[in-house]
A and B are shown apart, each in its own frame.
Chain A
């Protein structure tokens, strides 16, 4: 298993953790805690690391099945969480945690897709 695949598994696993944590906030009807933003930003950092690693592997000669799909997935993976956090910047309600859960789940799924098409 190469380093990028390992990072991909870490991103997918951590995204699952963030999704469950955020979804629990909705189930418990709690306002969105500050630490949820911090773990969401941590996911973003991991996603950026994965994107940089995948781009490095591509520049080193690895050919993805479809370059446009590969780059599209990378862009989506990196942009999803910042957009969600920005959209919910002034909303600390229970349901804003649901938005973070949806963004984290989508980030994890896209990370898996990156692994499949790279």
Chain B
């Protein structure tokens, strides 16, 4: 019974967002660690920004998980920060290419990852904007049932 209700609470489009965020946290994290520990001097700005991108994906994963459970505040902040980061780093990589002798995760708006880094925060914000996740509704139903009992 409890397993079923947990599964219902966790279902929704956020599952796919969480999976993609986990994949990008892994990809960006591993890439930035290799870059920082093997050839940091070659492109310090680009590699530092890769670390920032990896940290953003880890924070984004936790933020979406919290939003799926009803607290969307952190996710709103993180997704806007992530979108601003992709746009800023993407624009900088085009405007000041000398800062990016090697690509960072968000260089050219994430073209090295099929522009998924630019799409991801937009999809996340759309998910938040379209409505509350099932978890939120379940929480409300739970609150309502408590109110009825009271």
Judged by a CB distance under 8 angstroms, whether A99 is at the interface is yes
Contact B13 A91 (CB under 8 A): no
Q: How far is the CA of A90 from the CA of B12 in the complex (A)?
A: 14
Contact partner of B19 among A66, A76, A93, A102, CB < 8 A?
A102
**Interface on chain A toward B: helix, strand, loop, or mixed SS?**
helix
Contact B34 A103 (CB under 8 A): no
Tell me which residues across on chain A come within 8 A of B11, comparing CB atoms: 91, 93-96
Interface size on A, residues (CB 8 A): 22
Q: How far is the CA of A83 from the CA of B103 in the complex (A)?
A: 29
1/0 per residue, CB under 8 A from A, across B12-44: the answer is 110110111001001100100010001000000
Contact partner of A95 among B12, B23, B30, B34, CB < 8 A?
B12
Judged by a CB distance under 8 angstroms, whether B77 is at the interface is no
Residues of A within 8 A of B (CB): 26, 66, 68-69, 72, 76, 80, 84, 87-88, 90-91, 93-96, 98-99, 101-103, 106
A-B residue pairs in contact (CB < 8 Å), sample of 19: A66-B38, A68-B38, A72-B34, A76-B27, A76-B30, A80-B23, A87-B19, A90-B3, A90-B6, A90-B7, A91-B11, A93-B7, A93-B15, A96-B11, A98-B15, A99-B18, A102-B20, A103-B19, A106-B23
Residues of B within 8 A of A (CB): 3, 6-7, 10-13, 15-16, 18-20, 23, 26-27, 30, 34, 38
